[in-house]
Amino acid sequence: MSELKPMSEQAPNSPERRRFINAATATAAGLAIAPGVMLYEVAHGRPEEQAASSAVRWGMLVDATKCATGCDDCVSACSTENGWTPVAESAHPKQAPQWIRKLELQDPLTQMETNLPMMCQHCAEPPCVDVCPTGASFKRADGIVLVNRHTCIGCRYCMMACPYKARSLVHESLNDTQKPDVPRGIGCVESCTFCVQKIDRGDGTTACVEACTAAGHNALVFGDMNDPESEISKRLRELPTKQVRADLNLNLGVRYHGI
Amino acid sequence: MASKIKRLLALGAVVLTTAALAWAGADDQPKASGAPKPVITKAVKGEQCVEPTDYMRRNHMKVLNHHRDEAVIEGVRTKKHSLKECINCHASETTGSVAASKDDFCVSCHSYAAVKIDCFDCHSTKPQASSAMHPLNAETAHYKHKLAAQANAKVSAEEMAGIAQ
């Protein structure tokens, strides 16, 4: 990849300068518009007629040391926001769609337990996109990996290709129970969308992160990984984080601390 | 010669039969009215569609498909040509939907034209509930899932008694 971008050779010389320029422009924008509410919009929102831009890369940091045992607020919040039936309530739990799930892991030697949510990792090089025969599985400019249900034929190659078991097929008719913001239907593959409807609305966060923060755990941080001043970038600079199956070299959008 | 006469007779028979059938038909069904016309209910909200009505009748599918690709692939979610906004305006007052009963806005014409709609295999046929309409409901968004859980929870007998009093 790097040889395709000759410009990147110049960048490492002056990271300090670049950071200063970014901070200066952000301040200028904030001053021009005035109060704090608008600063929030400058940071996250984009006009609705403007396409998602590759200047942004949405990502999430999961702090497994703060993720509480037995808590599944992120999972229920996702299910409520996106309208999928919780697995426990499904008539066919084994084939029920699941966008995010809680994992409880135990080290067999030390018995140390780790809790973490697992969902689509929003890879920069997504295997699901590589294998899709119709181009339905795609990565949006801002790094969100999505399924275009208009072209998905339900072949499930992407489910096989995903190393994280993040995708599900909708097996049964949903009988008009969908949310108006989240169309989903029988015969299509689906997975975590980073709450793309909320992102495009300018919320700048996801349902699971909101729920985790509301519950006081603060184990999830969401934001723009390309913006050095964002909360997530600051935390990623400070904390040692891992990518799950880093050996696959997929450059994940979800990073874990404490695993 | 004999074959020529036979052919003429046959032709005559055909002409007579057709004439007789046409006459009989004219008596039995004076004017064929065809299938019942679609019921087109005026949109509940709004006075004028985003494009002229004649244009929309012929081209709504092109408009929707174009917007669909931009919305899904590029994330351009303008309101003007969005299916969600069509539904917000055209949902029936009785069913609250554009495709629940046979007289609802989308279904009515589509069944008349015998064109299957796939939209509602995935898209909701109902407008968004008013509480969720606010674009930045950040304060309630935190508790949305908890509120939903409470709504599903069964009400205890004491609470019911309290409400009754």
CATH of the domain at A117: 3.30.70.20
- What residues pair up with A62 in beta bridges, in sequence order? A220, A256
Of A176, A180, A210, the CB nearest to B142: A210
Q: A186 and A72 in one domain?
A: yes
B44, B104 in Cβ contact below 8 A?
Answer: no
CB contact under 8 A, A76 and B145: yes
In a domain, A200, yes or no: yes
- Per-residue pLDDT tens over the stretch B40-85: 888 878 788 999 999 999 999 999 999 999 999 999 999 999 999 9
CB contact under 8 A, B78 and A49: yes
- Per-residue pLDDT tens over the stretch A203-253: 999 999 999 999 999 999 999 999 999 999 999 999 999 999 999 999 999
- Determine the residue type at B47: E
- Tell the residue number behind the tokens 């489910």, with chain if given: A159
Closest CA to B147 of A83, A76, A102: A76
In a domain, A246, yes or no: yes
Give A27's pLDDT tier (boundaries 50, 70, 90). very low
- Tell the residue number behind the tokens 């913006």, with chain if given: A227
Q: A127 and A1 in one domain?
A: no
Range of the domain at A19: 1-44
pLDDT of residue B11: 54
Q: How far is B162 from chain A (nearest CA, A)?
A: 29
Q: What are the residue ranges of helices labelled H in A148-258?
A: 157-161, 196-201, 207-214, 231-238
Chain A neighbours among B 5-64 (CB < 8 Å)?
A: none
pTM to 2 decimal places: 0.73
Q: A152 and A36 in one domain?
A: no
> Which residues does B53 contact at the CB level (< 8 Å), separation at least 6?
none
Q: A130 and A32 in one domain?
A: no
- Determine the residue type at A82: N
In a domain, A33, yes or no: yes
Q: How far is B63 from chain A (nearest CA, A)?
A: 15
d(CA A153, CA A106): 38
Q: A172 and A84 in one domain?
A: yes
CB contact under 8 A, B68 and A150: yes
What is the total residue count of chain B? Answer: 165
Q: A63 and A15 in one domain?
A: no
Residues A193-207 have a mean pLDDT of 95
CB contact under 8 A, B78 and A210: no
Please state the domain extents for chain B: 53-132
Q: A68 and A24 in one domain?
A: no
A85, A227 in Cβ contact below 8 A?
Answer: no
Q: A113 and A24 in one domain?
A: no
Q: A81 and A16 in one domain?
A: no
Q: A60 and A116 in one domain?
A: yes
- Per-residue pLDDT tens over the stretch A55-112: 999 999 999 999 999 999 999 999 999 999 999 999 999 999 999 999 999 999 999 9
Q: A233 and A158 in one domain?
A: yes
Q: What is the DSSP annotation of B37-48?
A: PPP-PPPSS-SS
Return phi, psi of residue A220, to 5°. -115, 135
Closest CA to A132 of A169, A159, A100: A159
Q: How many domains does chain A have?
A: 2
In a domain, A50, yes or no: no
In a domain, A51, yes or no: no
In a domain, A102, yes or no: yes
In chain A, residues with a C-beta closer than 8 Å to the C-beta of B120 are: 176
A148, B52 in Cβ contact below 8 A?
Answer: no
Q: How far is B70 from chain A (nearest CA, A)?
A: 8
d(CA B161, CA B165): 6
Residue A242 DSSP label: B
Chain A neighbours among B 139-158 (CB < 8 Å)?
A: 141-146, 148-149
Q: A230 and A172 in one domain?
A: yes
Predicted complex ipTM exceeds 0.85: no
In a domain, A24, yes or no: yes
d(CA A240, CA B40): 62
